[in-house]
Amino acid sequence: MIERMDHLVLTVASIERTLDFYQRVLGMRRQTFGEGRSALLFGVQKFNLHQHGAEFEPKAMRPTPGAIDLCLITEWPTAKTLAHLAEQGVTVEEGPVVRTGATGPIESLYFRDPDGNLVEVSRYL
């Protein structure tokens, strides 16, 4: 029945800080929509951003910055991703390690966004 994910919502402490991080570190594109709402676009998906304490309705039962684990796929070789993360001052907490993605084995790097969400950037092997 379900084909794909369209978007998910990140509740964040600072929309501007989150926009900067995901644009600079992961190459996502900023989108402004509705009445000044913000999102991050990548591929055919997006992250809508909710400011903690001023979330758009309806919302999650307990919207909390730093409560998400994300796995994002790249085509970049792991060495290039590692070099880029280092250039951006991002500390890799774990990796490269082999994990299992939705369609097969992946090689993953783990780090945190400004809210402490765990971000996994992986490439299919």
Q: pLDDT tens digit string along 7-48?
A: 999 999 999 999 999 999 999 999 999 999 999 999 999 999
Contact yes or no for 40/32 (Cβ under 8 A): no
Q: For residue 110, what pLDDT band results from cuts at 50, 70 and 90? A: very high
The pLDDT-based confidence of 70 (bands split at 50, 70, 90) is: very high
The total domain count for the chain is 1
- C-alpha to C-alpha distance for 50 and 56, rounded to whole angstroms: 6
Question: Around Cβ 120, how many Cβ atoms within 10 Å?
Answer: 20
Q: How confident is the model at residue 105 (pLDDT cuts 50, 70, 90)?
A: very high
Average pLDDT (59-79) is 97
Whether 70 maps to a domain, the answer reads: yes
Sign of CA dihedral 56, 27, 117, 102: positive
Residue 116 in any domain: the answer is yes
So what's the pLDDT on residue 108?
A: 98
Q: What's the domain range around 41?
A: 7-124
Residues noted as catalytic:
120
Predicted TM-score (pTM) of this structure: 0.95
Q: Classify residue 65: in a domain, yes or no.
A: yes
Within-domain flag for 2: no
Q: What are phi and psi of 117, to 5 degrees?
A: -60, 145
Residue 98 lies in a domain: yes
Cα gap 13→15, rounded to integer Å: 7
Please report, for the domain that includes residue 62, its CATH number: 3.10.180.10
In a domain, 1, yes or no: no
